[in-house]
Structure 1
Amino acid sequence: MTIERPEPAFSSDEVTMLRGFIDHYRATIRLQASGLTAAQLDQTLPPSDLTLGGMLKHLAFVEDYWFSYNLMGNEPAPPWDTAPWSEDRDWDWHSAAGASHAELDALLVEAIERSERCLDESLAADPELDRRVARVRPPEKGENATLRWVLVHMVEEYARHAGHADLIRQSIDGAVDV
């Protein structure tokens, strides 16, 4: 499996720039987990309980949550629709234990593909980044996100976890520039 890590453009419109950074960090996370066994994907770097396997599944959830559920207003897709969130708020992280790299990477790749379709469809209907997402938050939760916020948040989400992935991967096999 070859994972290409695209470099974001130094000069482009805002949507292209944000998508470029998201794509760069998506590939970074996938590369950090590549070539590892299920046991290695389950390894933690104490005192944290984060794992690379959990990170792949968590990011698949985040993709679906922000692009399909919030941006487009769709209902949760499998496996998120039947996840026991009330029993384990970190189910996405914990339920990855024992899963193979192929299984977890495929889950993330499929979620990314759905996200890209949702984003393309949304931008085709209305290219304004200041517009609100489809899913309206309850008043006690505050203001509804804009499309711009979702894109910036996805850069932040991936970049934060890419730093975690660097540390976890180095603790597993010493790899520092995967």
Structure 2
Amino acid sequence: MSEDTEPVLLEPPVAGDETDTLIGSLERQRRTFAWKCAGLDAVGLGARLAPSTITLGGLLKHLALVEEDYFSRRLLDEEFGPPWNTVDWDADPDWEWHSAASDSPEELYALWAGAVARSRANLRKALADGGLDGLARHSWPDGRAPSLRRILVDLVEEYARHVGHADLIRESVDGRVGEDPPC
């Protein structure tokens, strides 16, 4: 089986090791987020709950950026690719949130799915290179470099926070609540 078609942990193991538990937790958050966003048109992806400006489309684009930032830029010190490398972040630091309204549902779903696929490949590479204790190649402003363990925990936290947002927004669109049933 190639790296691109490796099975993905859908749940953290009941009594697994630290790596599988962290990856399983992240994958459960990704799966729940995907289920919250699945099957919606532009109107559904653009729905918001006042006074917040957060939309499911904005969340898809934001989490695509987060995936690229954590697992490509921070972990491997790679430069951003399209569309991120063409953005004037100083002029609009929230560009991903604002620009999502102009993207089609297909573009948003593909952008997020592509970022997740690259993240999974980069995670496999980093695990092979140094495991959870391996340090990111891009350091923080104070010179410290986070471990892969820290990056995984940060991603689980980021997704968990946004899955909560997605839960409320999706319920307002069509009543979908809860979690995707485990596979």
Normalising by structure 1, we get a TM-score of 0.90
2:137 alignment partner, one of 114, 120, 134 = 134
Q: Over aligned residues, Cα RMSD in angstroms?
A: 1.7
Aligned AA (1:124): A
Aligned AA (1:79): P
Say yes or no: does 1:167 pair with 2:171: no
Q: Which runs of 5+ in 1 are unaligned?
A: none
- Identity %, equivalent residues: 47
Query: Which residue of structure 2 aligns with residue 58 of structure 1?
Result: 62
Query: Which residue of structure 1 aligns with residue 5 of structure 2?
Result: none
CA distance in 2, matches of 1:86, 1:29: 29
CA distance in 2, matches of 1:47, 1:26: 26
CA distance in 1, matches of 2:49, 2:77: 37
Say yes or no: does 1:96 pair with 2:97: no
CA contact (8 A) 2:29 2:156 kept: yes
Aligned AA (1:51): T
Relative to 1, partners in 2 of residues 1:36 and 1:165: Cα closer, same or farther, differing over 3 Å? same
Say yes or no: does 1:113 pair with 2:117: yes
Q: Which moved more, 1:153-162 or 1:95-104?
A: 95-104
Q: State the 1:158 CA deviation.
A: 0.5
CA distance in 2, matches of 1:99, 1:81: 17
Query: Which residue of structure 2 aligns with residue 86 of structure 1?
Result: 90
CA contact (8 A) 2:126 2:134 kept: no
Matches within 5 A, 1:150-165: 150-165=151-166
SS in 2 for 1:156: helix
Q: State the 1:39 CA deviation.
A: 1.6
Relative to 1, partners in 2 of residues 1:5 and 1:146: Cα closer, same or farther, differing over 3 Å? closer
Q: State the 1:169 CA deviation.
A: 0.5
Deviations 1:104-129 (A, max 9, x none): 111111101111111111111112x2
Deviations 1:35-90 (A, max 9, x none): 11112211111111100000001000000000000101111111111112111111
Q: Which runs of 5+ in 2 are unaligned?
A: 1-7
Normalising by structure 2, we get a TM-score of 0.88
CA distance in 2, matches of 1:57, 1:169: 16
Deviations 1:92-145 (A, max 9, x none): 111110323222111111101111111111111112x23321002222xx6332
